[in-house]
């Protein structure tokens, strides 16, 4: 009895996946990959490997860049500034808590990184695609 309950309690932890996203690879203003498909309970770990960036949720369209402090919700996020200028490769982990699309960008330089295309999507949909979000960011 105890062992069965214990086993059932472990299932979500066994099935949950972590998705790794690199921030600023090759010194570029970019997230890699740019689209992440993740289930509720999964984590996404962002690792900053150059410069000084943020991982911040923003709106799909309109005033995309820069993401506001605290990010755009519900279930938004904002890592604050994470600097790799000292080579420390700081990380930020987001746990997925819903199935709706979330759009994110870097808020550095008053939105200049975001407008340069430093953006990503979590669970983009057929009506809210990453490509359209990127176009909206560049035009914002
Ligand atoms: C990172 O960028 C922010 C915003 O521009 C700035 O306030 C902060 O001092 C920077 N951090 C480092 C270590 O340069
Ligand atoms: Cu940046």
pLDDT in tens, 15-52: 789 999 999 999 999 999 999 999 999 999 999 999 99
Structure confidence at residue 6 (pLDDT)? 60
Burial of 43 (0-12, 13-18, 19+ CB in 10 A): middle
10 Å Cβ neighbour count for 108? 21
pLDDT at residue 9 greater than cutoff 80: no
Query: Exposure of 25 by Cβ count < 10 A (0-12 exposed, 13-18 middle, 19+ buried)?
Result: middle
Pocket test for ligand 1, best of 24, 29, 51, 52 (most atoms within 8 A of CB): 52
Q: What percent of the chain has pLDDT over 70?
A: 90
pLDDT above 60: residue 1: no
Atom 3 of ligand 1, residue of closest alpha carbon: 81
At residue 14, the pLDDT reads 64
- Ligand 1, residue 85: give the atom nearest the CA: 13
Architecture in CATH of 12-139:
Sandwich (2.60)
């Amino acid at each position: 009895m105890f062992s069965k309950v214990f086993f059932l309690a472990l299932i979500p932890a066994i099935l949950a996946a972590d998705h790794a996203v690199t921030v600023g690879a090759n010194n570029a203003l970019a997230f890699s990959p740019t689209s992440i498909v993740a289930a509720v309970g999964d984590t996404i770990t962002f690792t900053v490997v150059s410069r000084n960036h943020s991982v911040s949720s923003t709106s799909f369209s309109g005033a995309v860049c820069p993401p506001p402090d605290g990010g755009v919700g519900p279930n938004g996020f904002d890592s604050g500034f994470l600097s790799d200028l000292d080579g420390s490769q700081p990380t930020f982990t987001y746990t997925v808590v819903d199935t709706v699309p979330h759009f994110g960008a870097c808020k550095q330089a008053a939105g200049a990184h975001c407008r340069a295309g430093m953006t990503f999507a979590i669970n983009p949909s057929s009506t809210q695609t990453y490509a359209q979000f990127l176009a909206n960011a560049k035009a914002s």
